[in-house]
């Protein structure tokens, strides 16, 4: 029996650790029949090492999503490897340390601008760089952390994620005519490298212990990865501009 991504070609960003959602997305995508290519920055060698743990070999290319030169050559590099693309996974987020950990009111604009550029604007930049390879339509899937709320310690990553969510909706509007779907997975907290960079992450994650209807495991990125793979597949052919929560149901609970 073939997988739900049989014959699909997918570019996946953000594979930094085996514990990341991006790694599990890559693993599941291969298991479901996809050919994948990975991007990495600033240390492609780290991603190459992690990629050896995937079921099949996967090429890793260097990509800084804030670098116009990198973005400009992306389509040629990926095209030579895969011929085209059917899916793009945006798993990129970064904020300087002074934009996190309770420093919201004192963060300088330069740090806010960096968070917005890397975490939100890059969804548009990455998609447009890949657009020449998506001649038959496809699916763009990003990862967010529910931007409806102000979370402890999360500070300017919250507005950055809100911008990411709005960007995805506008992309869904403008790319629908090319049969390209743009959706996000809103995942619960995972003990990834990105999470470890947030001061006080434990305080934020502890909310899930008391409020999530379904038991949530910080060490299990696979449910979120399954959500990404489902949105990459043809099983959501008319879903775009959507945010699917894979958070144990916490988003539905008031207190």
Say whether 196 is catalytic: no
**Does the annotation place 134 within a ligand binding site?**
no
Number of H helices, E strands in the chain: 10, 7
- Helix locations, the chain, DSSP H: 21-31, 44-51, 68-82, 109-116, 122-130, 157-175, 193-196, 201-205, 207-211, 222-232
CA 86, CA 65: separation in Å to the nearest integer? 19
**Does the annotation place 190 within a ligand binding site?**
yes
**Does the annotation place 115 within a ligand binding site?**
no
The residue from 154, 196, 219, 238 that is catalytic is 154
**Does the annotation place 64 within a ligand binding site?**
yes
**Does the annotation place 75 within a ligand binding site?**
no
**Residue listed under structure tokens 């992306």:** 74
Residue 146 is given by DSSP the state -
Say whether 149 is catalytic: no
**Does the annotation place 192 within a ligand binding site?**
yes
**Does the annotation place 191 within a ligand binding site?**
yes
The residue from 53, 59, 161, 219 that is catalytic is 161
97 in Cβ contact with 200 (< 8 Å): no
**Does the annotation place 65 within a ligand binding site?**
yes
214 in Cβ contact with 208 (< 8 Å): no
**Does the annotation place 195 within a ligand binding site?**
no
Q: Name the binding residues for NAD(+).
A: 14, 20-21, 64-65, 92, 161, 190-194
Active-site residue set: 154, 161
As annotated, the binding site for substrate includes 95
**Binding residue ranges:** 14, 20-21, 64-65, 92, 95, 161, 190-194
């Amino acid at each position: 029996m073939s997988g739900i991504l049989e014959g699909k070609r997918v570019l996946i960003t953000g594979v930094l650790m085996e514990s990341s959602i991006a790694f599990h997305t890559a693993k599941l995508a291969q298991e479901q029949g996809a050919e994948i290519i990975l991007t990495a920055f600033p240390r492609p060698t780290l991603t190459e090492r992690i990629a050896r743990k995937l079921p099949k070999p996967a090429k890793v290319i260097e990509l800084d999503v804030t670098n116009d030169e990198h973005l400009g050559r992306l389509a040629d590099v990926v095209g030579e490897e895969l011929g085209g693309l059917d899916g793009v996974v945006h798993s990129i987020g970064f904020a300087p340390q002074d934009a996190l950990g309770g420093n919201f009111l004192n963060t300088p604009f330069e740090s806010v601008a960096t968070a917005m550029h890397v975490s939100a604007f890059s969804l548009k930049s990455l998609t447009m760089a890949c657009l020449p390879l998506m001649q038959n339509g496809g699916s763009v899937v990003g990862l967010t952390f529910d931007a409806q709320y102000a979370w402890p310690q999360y500070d300017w990553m919250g507005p950055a994620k809100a911008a990411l969510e709005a960007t995805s909706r506008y992309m869904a509007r403008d790319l629908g005519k090319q049969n390209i779907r743009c959706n996000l997975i809103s995942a619960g907290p995972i003990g990834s490298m990105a999470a470890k960079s947030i001061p006080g992450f434990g305080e934020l994650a502890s909310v899930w212990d008391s409020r999530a209807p379904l038991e949530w495991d910080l060490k299990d990125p696979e449910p979120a990865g399954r959500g990404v793979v489902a949105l990459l597949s043809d099983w959501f052919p008319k879903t775009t501009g959507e945010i699917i929560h894979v958070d144990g149901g916490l988003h539905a609970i008031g207190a």
